[in-house]
């Protein structure tokens, strides 16, 4: 019985991982359209796009194996990152220090994006890749520090343990706020989409990708964004609703996670729609500032605040 | 009289679909491709040749800046072809402005996209007038002759005896004038001062 | 060098179409004392002036020796009293069929007193060159405003600007053969010879990387090729290869179009400011035919020009927002703009390319119900734009990208003869609408408005200038509706006088548009030279780009509201004269078949 | 096209256009038309695109760039849409030296060849100068099989007067039958262009001619026409139309007098040739 429920939850989680992200993008596009007084595409649109891309052959401008492999590796990383997160009371892949693994696996999506961009001879791909690298290099330390705050607060590096053991301190509240910022930046939403800036570097690292490979990359990026948001939502809500000890309660929590994720996406879309893209140097400056804020929070956490 | 609306009132009443229905609501998007709409009456759509009225004078061809209207001559078969191609038309409506018969009709058609350019070609083939005297085709069409007769006052037609002479070539006309003069006045007038062109064309 | 002095032993003074009617051979003193500065110039260059005349109201021409050309241009451009005077552009003409000589003629917009419409005037400095040696000392060596025009006449007419700092090809395609000059009278307008591709890019300076932008680049809506030389992401230098939209417009008119048809070609120089070109051309022809068009036509033209300015400024704000990734700004700017397009569609029949003009007046009337529509839309636009600007100018990220970026100092702006809002954002107080409003084809002398000027010179200032102008335009439209006189809307124009010259100009939303027209025989145009504002603004862009970030490049380029199609039209309409080598259709086919294999 | 396409990504290339079409293509994305709701998205890179929107008459300088963009697209489906008159046929610039046009008559053939079709095959022509957003929407809708094609080519044979049609495309000649001679209509129509413009003149002139016909039923047509025109103003409030009507009235009687003394005047002027 226990295992059936667990498997059930895992299945639901996997379904969510695979099916939800493109819908979330559909919601975002719809919300943006509404803010712009447009009707907007149907919710399924991102699915249609992906489906079409998967059916198209790819043009390969280079013989490099990396070029072909990068999208699949990115997708694999994104999926494994999503599998490390809790769905209800179940974490599909659960082991001792999976926060660290989550951190790295998510990072790998960007790394493969950069590698893919660098594997071709195209000035804009290179600029895009460089920008992505700059973005990642400045925001990741911040995220690491924040994870540190959470881990210190809960005394564990396991996501499930952290969720179970978090206790409210001023530093934790601040950490939540800065984490929201950091994850937003890492997801590459406007105004931090400098790497894929359409008008400036025409698609950036994705510039040379087409057809199926491009579809896989987009899918990976959608899943990555979903994973980051799901992670944030879980971290934000689950510690405060008490122990999850019955399947009913777990289902409730899963529903809560789901609803919050879906609800957060329109907010993100609204933020995207009402902002202009920043320049990479401005982004870097902001990230560095936030990094110092992160250090202060870490200090506070050590002080026990 | 009172029941029908005046010209400007009719124009005034026309309102854009989107303005009527959607100006106040948040998504302002038109439902267009899923419904049928109309462009405003003032819209300059592609012009269309009315073959009932066209006389093939070529005034539109002279006015057309991008050569969307071209006149092709085929004297062997005694026809001239007025071809209009909407793919070249810039919709300046100069042809509508200069057409003497109102055959160039302005429309507000806008649904003209096509995958085959043949769909955009409109041809009107005119029969050229035939000079019985010389056995040659003239530069103008039989319709042009008819139209000239319809426009000109009777006095002018009588004066130049257009009824018989308009369908002749320049040479035949000259010959005829000289003959007629010889009949009436003897050989008193040299032919050249008497040559006066028949129609307006 | 053979000077024009040898060719022209005497000089004469001639005046045409002054207020008193036609008087050939008017008194020199009278002409020269009509405007401030003419006499002074005459005294300074007495030795070298062959002839002077008044072409039409407010347009004066001096025929001078070619060797003093740079000095004469600089005399005017750097005039200590007339601060805003600038070299507008120049015209090169092949007048060999007429008198066996080539002509190079820079002309200047002389601003005696900014916005005093009765004082300012145009000065043409005409220099003849013998057919076997079409060369003249380069003005560009001393004045960057002449950089492009001299490259252009070198390309299209084969003139040789002696001492030009950068004599590379500017306009013709890269596979165009050397030694074929399309604007010369002995070339057929359809003749399109092919040759090897030859690119002349500047070498990448040491220690920099090359970032090519374009020809097809999402950041620039039109094809243009910018080569940015960058260190890291900072722009060190820029090379530009544009003229992808060079369509041979001037030559196209040759033999094919009559003066009324040219009007529609002029409108299609640019799809954005087409009506400005149309009005400028019509004005030039009306001026040389010496026709005063009816007041109602002038009002309707002005009305359409202002409506065009309104929707174009909104368009530009949208594009700028789009370029910084602020798509909501783009969407809303264009949503606000849409009612103007609908209005224009109902007034003229089309959303762009109004086809409203005819030489001598306008083609459609503004009936009463159309006036009501206009007022309704104007009111709506004013409200919505205010709301929109409140939001857009408070969007932090948007301002962050626009402020302090792409600064163009006043001095540079002046040296490059930068025009329009770009110039006004750098503190230049110029606006042809007010500077030369008397006796034009428009009614700007009868309405009241202000010309906004900012001193900062950055992208944000350019945004603000345009927004201020937008509100002024709305106000102008209301005045025009209010004051619209009755009467006819056009006068028929009969035959045009032969070989007369005149200039037509308007202030487009990008700056002054200038059309120079010289008539030929049989109601055709012998030479038609178009100068769009972007032609003067674009050479200054490298100056704005230097030292800024690559990411800012599209925004800075867009901040001058560039219009490559305007700039890259090919000028003129020429008439086939006796000696022209005409290719028959068969020869032509041969050529095209022959060259088909090349690509 | 068969099955309805649900997602089309579009890359836009300017082949030397005047900008009008480019702006309209952007306009279709704006809120009132919102192309995105049909699943069409404009992408910045030809590699990502399924369709190419081409504007402009294909200048020689842009043709290499266009070719490159076309080849950079994935080999399937490579839909090419020519937006605007220039892209459909070379437009007003069609035979200029700066354009790339290799058609046999350099654009003067029946199909008016020219523009991008010289180097790439085109799937959809959207003529217009520039095509308004509705026109572009219609073209795209046709591509997505939402709308049907409406245009078809016509070949009319204009029959000479007094012949009756026997085949479907033969058309007989009709001169509008009016009690008032056609020449009044023609002259007034031309003059009205000066007063009220070519667009409004047809309606105004038709109204006026109806009044004239009515007036001639009366014994004193001059006064009757004046009354009728004044009566017409009760219905038609527009000041410009009023001006035009009064102008027509004066002009009509001027012409009337002129034509009626025409025979006399002509005989005076050409005493010899008259009747020859």
- Model pLDDT for residues C362-396, shown as the tens digit of each residue: 999 999 989 998 999 999 999 999 998 888 888 77
Query: Could you report the per-residue pLDDT of C436-476, keeping only the tens digit for each?
Result: 888 888 899 899 999 999 998 898 899 899 999 999 999 99
Question: Which DSSP string do the residues of C170-227 spell out, in sequence order?
Answer: -SS-TTPPTT--TTSTTS-TT----------PPPPPTT-EEEEE-SSBTTBSS--EEE
Nearest to D18 among C270, C331, C489 (CB): C270
Query: Could you report the per-residue pLDDT of C150-164, keeping only the tens digit for each?
Result: 988 998 899 999 998
| pLDDT, position B95 | 92
Can you give the residue ranges of every domain in chain C? 4-162, 249-557
Is residue C599 predicted with pLDDT exceeding 60? no
Residues of A in contact with C395 (CB under 8 A): 274-276
| pLDDT, position C75 | 92
Q: Kindly report the CATH number assigned to the domain that includes residue D112.
A: 3.40.50.12280
Tokens of D181: 């001679």
Instruction: Identify the CA nearest to C272 among candidates C88, C460, C463, C534.
Output: C534
| pLDDT, position B20 | 62
A196 confidence band (pLDDT: 50, 70, 90): low
C496 confidence band (pLDDT: 50, 70, 90): confident
State which residues form the domain around B114.
43-194
| pLDDT, position C103 | 93
For residue D3, tell me if it sits in a domain.
Answer: no
Out of D115, D143, D171, a domain closes at D143
Question: Are D123 and D216 contained in the same domain?
Answer: no
Question: Are D220 and D101 contained in the same domain?
Answer: no
Nearest to D130 among C246, C334, C353 (CB): C353
| pLDDT, position C301 | 93
Contact C367 D241 (CB under 8 A): yes
For residues C112 and C120, the answer to whether their CB atoms sit within 8 Å is yes
Q: State the residue for tokens 């019509």.
A: C282
Taking the CA atoms of chain D, what radius of gyration do you get in angstroms? 28
| pLDDT, position C480 | 93
CATH topology of domain C4-162: Beta Polymerase; domain 2 (3.30.460)
| pLDDT, position B89 | 92
Q: Kindly report the CATH number assigned to the domain that includes residue B104.
A: 3.30.70.20
Q: What percent of chain D has pLDDT over 70?
A: 95
| pLDDT, position B199 | 39
* Strand ranges of the sheet holding C234-241, from the earlier edge strand across to the other edge: C209-213, C225-231, C234-241
Nearest to D14 among C223, C251, C337 (CB): C223
Q: Is D45 helix (H, G, I), strand (E, B) or coil?
A: coil
What is chain C's mean pLDDT, rounded?
81
A159 confidence band (pLDDT: 50, 70, 90): confident
Residue C29 CB-density burial (10 A; 0-12 exposed, 13-18 middle, 19+ buried)? exposed
Contact D23 C271 (CB under 8 A): yes
Contact B110 D132 (CB under 8 A): yes
Q: Does A285 touch chain B (CB under 8 A)?
A: no
C73 confidence band (pLDDT: 50, 70, 90): very high
Is residue D274 predicted with pLDDT exceeding 80? no
| pLDDT, position D245 | 92
Cβ partners under 8 Å of residue D264, min gap 6 = none
Average pLDDT over residues D77-87: 92
Average pLDDT over residues A30-53: 89
A78 confidence band (pLDDT: 50, 70, 90): very high
Nearest to D31 among A29, A36, A210 (CB): A36
Would you put residue C347 in left (φ > 0), alpha (ψ -120 to 50) or beta?
alpha
Q: Does A34 touch chain B (CB under 8 A)?
A: yes
Contact B112 D171 (CB under 8 A): no
Residues of D in contact with C248 (CB under 8 A): 93, 96-99
Is residue C578 predicted with pLDDT exceeding 60? no
Taking the CA atoms of chain A, what radius of gyration do you get in angstroms? 19
Q: State the residue for tokens 């987009």.
A: A218
D271 confidence band (pLDDT: 50, 70, 90): low
For residue D259, tell me if it sits in a domain.
Answer: yes
Å between D86 CA and nearest CA of chain B: 7
Question: Are D126 and D217 contained in the same domain?
Answer: no
Instruction: State the Cα–Cα distance between residues C555 and C303, nearest whole angstrom.
Output: 30
| pLDDT, position C379 | 92
| pLDDT, position B27 | 82
For residue B168, tell me if it sits in a domain.
Answer: yes
Question: Are D194 and D132 contained in the same domain?
Answer: no
| pLDDT, position D135 | 92
| pLDDT, position C222 | 58
Is residue D248 predicted with pLDDT exceeding 90? yes
Query: Could you report the per-residue pLDDT of C466-492, keeping only the tens digit for each?
Result: 999 999 999 999 999 999 998 899 998
* Strand ranges of the sheet holding C59-64, from the earlier edge strand across to the other edge: C13-15, C49-56, C59-64, C121-130, C101-110, C86-95
Least confident of A112-121, A187-196, D241-250: A187-196
Q: Mean pLDDT in runs of 10 for chain B (201 residues)?
A: 72 77 71 87 91 90 91 87 92 91 90 91 90 82 87 78 75 78 60 43 35
Query: Could you report the per-residue pLDDT of C308-332, keeping only the tens digit for each?
Result: 999 999 988 888 887 777 788 888 8
Instruction: State the Cα–Cα distance between residues A57 and A70, nearest whole angstrom.
Output: 16
Question: Which DSSP string do the residues of A59-72 spell out, in sequence order?
Answer: --S---HHHHHHHH
Question: Are D36 and D120 contained in the same domain?
Answer: yes
DSSP alpha helix (H) spans, C45-121: 69-77, 96-99
| pLDDT, position B179 | 78
* Closest chain D residue to the Cα of C254, Cα to Cα: D96
Using CA atoms, how far residue A40 sits from A277, D42, D249, in Å, is 21, 14, 56
Contact B32 D161 (CB under 8 A): no
| pLDDT, position C516 | 92
Query: Could you report the per-residue pLDDT of C547-574, keeping only the tens digit for each?
Result: 887 777 778 888 887 766 555 443 333 3
Output the CA angle C85-C89-C94, nearest 5 degrees. Answer: 140
Alpha carbon of residue D234 to chain centroid = 34
Least confident of C274-283, C349-358, D258-267: D258-267
Is residue C245 predicted with pLDDT exceeding 50? yes
Q: Mutating which of C263, C346, C351 best tests the B interface, going by the most B Cβ atoms within 10 A?
A: C346
Would you put residue C264 in left (φ > 0), alpha (ψ -120 to 50) or beta?
alpha
| pLDDT, position B193 | 46
**What is the CB neighbour count within 10 angstroms for residue B71?**
15
Chain A / chain D CB contacts < 8 angstroms:
72
Instruction: State the Cα–Cα distance between residues C417 and C426, nearest whole angstrom.
Output: 12
| pLDDT, position C567 | 53
| pLDDT, position C308 | 92
Cα torsion angle, D48, D51, D57, D59, sign: positive
More confident residue, C191 or C514: C514
Is residue A183 predicted with pLDDT exceeding 60? yes
Contact A34 B28 (CB under 8 A): no
Q: What is the DSSP letter of C141?
A: T
* Closest chain B residue to the Cα of A36, Cα to Cα: B27
Segment 21-80 of chain A within 8 Å of chain C by CB:
32, 35-38
Å between B136 CA and nearest CA of chain C: 27
Cα torsion angle, D239, D241, D244, D246, sign: negative
| pLDDT, position D254 | 92
Q: Mutating which of D29, D74, D137 best tests the A interface, going by the most A Cβ atoms within 10 A?
A: D74
* Closest chain D residue to the Cα of C271, Cα to Cα: D20
Output the CA angle C189-C190-C195, nearest 5 degrees. Answer: 110
Chain B: touching chains (3 or more CB pairs < 8 Å): A, C, D
Q: Does B29 touch chain A (CB under 8 A)?
A: yes
Question: Are D187 and D106 contained in the same domain?
Answer: no
Å between B79 CA and nearest CA of chain D: 10
For residues C425 and C462, the answer to whether their CB atoms sit within 8 Å is yes
Instruction: Identify the CA nearest to C534 among candidates C243, C254, C286.
Output: C243
Residue C284 phi, psi dihedral angles, 5° rounding? -60, -45
Question: Which DSSP string do the residues of C430-482 spell out, in sequence order?
Answer: --HHHHT-TTSSS-GGGS-------S--SHHHHHHHHHHHHHHHHHHHHHHHH
| pLDDT, position B197 | 42
For residues B14 and C369, the answer to whether their CB atoms sit within 8 Å is no
Å between A177 CA and nearest CA of chain C: 20
Q: Does C299 touch chain A (CB under 8 A)?
A: no
For residues D30 and C332, the answer to whether their CB atoms sit within 8 Å is no
Residues of C in contact with B12 (CB under 8 A): 369, 372
State which residues form the domain around D192.
182-269
Instruction: Identify the CA nearest to A196 among candidates A125, A268, A98.
Output: A125
Is residue A166 predicted with pLDDT exceeding 70? yes
What is chain A's mean pLDDT, rounded?
85
Instruction: State the Cα–Cα distance between residues C314 and C381, nearest whole angstrom.
Output: 10
Using CA atoms, how far residue C519 sits from C106, C206, C496, C531, D210, in Å, is 19, 51, 7, 18, 44
Question: Are D101 and D44 contained in the same domain?
Answer: yes
Instruction: State the Cα–Cα distance between residues D196 and D179, nearest whole angstrom.
Output: 25
Contact D175 B110 (CB under 8 A): no
ipTM here? 0.88
Instruction: Provide the number of structural domains found in chain B.
Output: 1
For residues C123 and C76, the answer to whether their CB atoms sit within 8 Å is yes
* Pairing between β-strand D79-83 and β-strand D124-126 as defined by DSSP bridges: parallel
Query: Could you report the per-residue pLDDT of A86-117, keeping only the tens digit for each?
Result: 888 788 887 778 888 989 998 998 899 888 88
Question: Are D187 and D139 contained in the same domain?
Answer: no
**What is the CB neighbour count within 10 angstroms for residue D145?**
12
| pLDDT, position B186 | 54
For residue D160, tell me if it sits in a domain.
Answer: no
| pLDDT, position D43 | 83
Residues of B in contact with A37 (CB under 8 A): 26-29
Instruction: State the Cα–Cα distance between residues C579 and A61, nearest whole angstrom.
Output: 54
Nearest to C367 among B8, B19, B43 (CB): B8
Instruction: State the Cα–Cα distance between residues C142 and C156, nearest whole angstrom.
Output: 22
**Dihedral angle computed from the Cα positions of residues A244, A249, A254 and A259, in that order, rounded to the nearest 10 degrees:** -120
Instruction: Identify the CA nearest to C558 among candidates C316, C232, C285.
Output: C316
Residues of C in contact with B63 (CB under 8 A): 260-261
Å between A155 CA and nearest CA of chain C: 39
Residues of C in contact with A35 (CB under 8 A): 328
Question: Are D209 and D132 contained in the same domain?
Answer: no
CATH topology of domain C249-557: Cytochrome-c3 Hydrogenase; chain B (1.10.645)
């Amino acid at each position: 019985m226990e295992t059936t429920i667990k498997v059930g939850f895992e299945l639901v989680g996997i379904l969510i991982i695979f099916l939800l992200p493109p819908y979330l993008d559909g919601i975002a596009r719809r919300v943006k359209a509404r803010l712009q007084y447009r009707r907007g595409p149907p919710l399924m649109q991102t699915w249609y796009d992906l489906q079409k891309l998967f059916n198209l052959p790819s043009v390969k401008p280079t013989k490099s194996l990396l070029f072909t492999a990068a999208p699949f590796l990115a997708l694999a990383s994104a999926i494994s990152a999503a599998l490390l997160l809790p769905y209800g009371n179940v974490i599909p892949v659960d082991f001792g220090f999976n926060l660290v693994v989550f951190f790295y696996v998510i990072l790998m999506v960007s790394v493969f994006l950069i590698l893919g961009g660098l594997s071709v001879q195209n000035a804009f791909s290179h600029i895009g890749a460089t920008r992505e690298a700059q973005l990642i290099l400045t925001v990741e330390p911040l995220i690491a520090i924040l994870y540190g705050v959470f881990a210190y607060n809960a005394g564990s590096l396991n996501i499930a343990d952290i969720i179970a053991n978090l206790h409210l301190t001023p530093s934790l509240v601040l950490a939540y706020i800065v984490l929201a910022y950091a994850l937003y930046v890492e997801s590459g939403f406007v105004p931090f989409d400098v790497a894929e800036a359409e008008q400036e570097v025409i698609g950036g690292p994705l510039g040379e990708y087409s057809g199926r490979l491009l579809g896989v990359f987009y899918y990976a990026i959608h899943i990555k964004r979903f994973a980051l948001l799901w992670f944030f939502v879980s971290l934000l809500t689950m510690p405060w609703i008490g122990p999850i000890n019955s399947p009913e309660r777990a289902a409730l929590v899963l529903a809560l996670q789901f609803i919050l994720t879906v609800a957060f996406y329109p907010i993100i879309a609204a933020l995207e729609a009402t902002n202009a893209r920043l320049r990479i140097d401005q982004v870097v400056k902001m990230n560095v500032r936030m990094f110092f804020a992160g250090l202060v929070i870490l200090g506070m956490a050590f002080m026990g605040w | 009289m009172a029941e029908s609306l005046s010209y400007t009132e009719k124009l005034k009443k026309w309102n854009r679909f989107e303005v009527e229905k959607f100006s106040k609501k948040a998504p302002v998007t038109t439902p267009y491709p899923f419904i049928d709409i109309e462009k405003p009456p003032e819209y300059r759509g592609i012009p269309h040749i009315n073959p009932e009225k066209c006389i093939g004078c070529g005034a539109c061809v002279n006015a057309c800046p991008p050569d969307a209207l071209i006149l092709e001559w085929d004297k062997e078969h005694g026809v001239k072809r007025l071809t209009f191609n909407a793919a070249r038309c810039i919709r300046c409506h100069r042809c509508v402005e200069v057409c003497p018969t109102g055959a160039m009709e302005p429309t507000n058609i806008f649904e003209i996209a096509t995958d085959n350019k043949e769909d955009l070609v409109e041809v009107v083939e005119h029969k050229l007038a035939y000079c019985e005297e010389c056995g040659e085709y003239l530069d103008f069409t039989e319709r042009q002759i008819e139209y000239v007769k319809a426009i000109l006052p009777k006095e002018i037609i009588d004066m130049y005896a257009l009824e018989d002479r308009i369908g002749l070539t320049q040479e035949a006309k000259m010959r005829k004038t000289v003959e007629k003069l010889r009949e009436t006045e003897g050989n008193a007038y040299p032919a050249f001062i008497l040559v006066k062109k028949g129609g307006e064309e | 060098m053979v000077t024009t002095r040898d060719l022209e032993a005497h000089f004469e003074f001639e005046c045409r179409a002054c207020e008193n009617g036609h008087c050939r051979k008017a008194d020199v003193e009278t002409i020269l004392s009509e405007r401030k500065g003419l006499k002074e110039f005459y005294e300074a260059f007495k030795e070298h002036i062959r002839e002077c005349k008044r072409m039409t109201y407010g347009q004066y021409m001096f025929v001078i020796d070619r060797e003093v050309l740079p000095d004469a241009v600089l005399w005017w451009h750097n005039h200590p009293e007339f601060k805003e005077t600038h070299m507008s552009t120049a015209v090169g003409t092949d007048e060999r069929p007429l008198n066996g000589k080539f002509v190079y003629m820079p002309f200047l917009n002389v601003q005696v007193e900014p916005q005093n419409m009765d004082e300012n005037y145009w000065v043409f400095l005409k220099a003849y060159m013998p057919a076997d040696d079409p060369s003249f000392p380069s003005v560009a060596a001393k004045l960057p405003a002449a950089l492009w025009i001299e490259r252009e006449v070198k390309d299209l007419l084969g003139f040789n600007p002696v001492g030009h700092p950068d004599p590379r090809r500017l306009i013709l395609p890269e596979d165009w053969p050397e030694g074929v000059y399309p604007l010369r009278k002995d070339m057929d307008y359809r003749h399109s010879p092919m040759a090897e591709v030859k690119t002349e890019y500047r070498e990448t300076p040491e220690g920099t990387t090359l970032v090519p932008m374009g020809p097809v680049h999402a950041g620039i809506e039109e094809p243009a090729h910018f080569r940015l030389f960058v260190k890291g992401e900072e722009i060190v230098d820029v090379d530009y290869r544009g003229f992808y939209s060079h369509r041979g417009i001037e030559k196209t008119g040759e033999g094919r179009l009559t003066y009324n048809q040219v009007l529609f070609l002029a409108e299609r120089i640019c799809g954005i400011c087409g009506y400005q070109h149309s009005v400028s051309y019509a004005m030039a022809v009306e001026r040389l035919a010496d026709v005063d068009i009816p007041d109602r036509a002038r009002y309707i033209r002005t009305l359409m020009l202002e409506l065009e300015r309104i929707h174009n400024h909104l368009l530009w704000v949208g594009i700028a927002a789009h370029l910084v990734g602020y798509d909501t700004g783009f969407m809303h700017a264009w949503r606000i703009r849409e009612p103007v397009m609908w209005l224009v569609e109902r007034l003229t029949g089309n959303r762009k390319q109004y086809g409203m003009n005819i030489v001598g007046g306008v083609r459609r009337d503004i009936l009463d119900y159309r006036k009501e529509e206009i007022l309704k839309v104007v009111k709506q636009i004013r409200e919505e734009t205010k709301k929109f600007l409140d939001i857009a100018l408070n969007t932090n990220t948007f301002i962050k990208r626009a402020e302090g970026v792409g600064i163009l100092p006043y001095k540079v702006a002046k040296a490059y003869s930068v025009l329009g809002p770009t110039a006004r954002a750098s503190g230049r107080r110029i606006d042809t609408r007010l500077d030369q409003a008397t006796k034009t084809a428009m009614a700007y002398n009868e309405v009241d408005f202000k010309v906004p000027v900012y001193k900062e010179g950055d992208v944000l200032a350019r945004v603000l200038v345009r927004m201020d102008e937008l509100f002024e335009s709305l106000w102008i439209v209301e005045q025009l509706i209010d004051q619209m006189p009755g009467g006819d809307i056009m006068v028929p124009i009969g035959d045009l006088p032969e070989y007369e010259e005149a200039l037509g100009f308007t202030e487009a939303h990008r700056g002054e548009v200038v059309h120079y027209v010289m008539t030929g025989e049989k109601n055709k145009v012998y030479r038609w030279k178009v100068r769009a504002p972007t032609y003067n603004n674009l050479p200054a862009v490298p100056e704005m780009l230097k030292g800024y970030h690559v990411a800012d490049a599209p925004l800075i380029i867009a901040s001058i509201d560039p219009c490559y199609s305007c700039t890259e039209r090919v000028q003129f309409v020429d008439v086939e004269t006796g000696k022209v080598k005409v290719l028959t259709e068969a020869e032509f086919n041969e050529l095209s078949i022959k060259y088909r294999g090349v690509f | 096209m068969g099955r309805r396409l649900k997602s089309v990504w579009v890359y836009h290339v300017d082949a030397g256009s005047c900008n009008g079409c480019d702006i309209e293509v952007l306009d279709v994305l704006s809120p009132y038309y919102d192309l995105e709701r049909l699943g069409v998205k404009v992408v910045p890179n030809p590699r990502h695109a399924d369709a190419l929107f081409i504007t402009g008459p294909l200048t020689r300088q842009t043709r290499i760039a266009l070719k490159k963009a076309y080849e950079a697209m994935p080999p399937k489906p490579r839909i090419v849409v020519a937006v605007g008159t220039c892209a459909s046929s070379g437009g007003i610039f069609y035979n200029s030296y700066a354009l790339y046009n290799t058609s046999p008559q350099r654009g003067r053939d029946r199909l008016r060849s020219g523009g991008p079709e010289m180097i790439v095959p085109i799937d959809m022509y959207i003529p217009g100068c520039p095509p308004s957003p509705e026109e572009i929407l219609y073209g795209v809708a046709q591509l997505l099989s939402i709308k049907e094609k409406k245009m078809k080519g016509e070949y009319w044979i204009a029959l000479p007067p007094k012949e009756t049609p026997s085949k479907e495309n033969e058309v007989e000649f009709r001169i509008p039958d009016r009690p008032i001679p056609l020449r009044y209509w023609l002259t007034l129509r031309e003059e009205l262009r000066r007063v009220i413009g070519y667009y409004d003149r047809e309606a105004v002139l038709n109204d006026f001619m109806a009044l004239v016909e009515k007036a001639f039923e009366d014994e004193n047509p001059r006064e009757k026409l004046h009354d009728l025109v004044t009566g017409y103003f009760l219905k038609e409030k527009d000041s410009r139309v009023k001006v035009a009507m009064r102008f027509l009235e004066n002009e009509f009687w001027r012409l009337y007098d002129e034509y009626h003394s025409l025979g006399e005047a002509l005989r005076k002027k050409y005493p010899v040739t008259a009747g020859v």
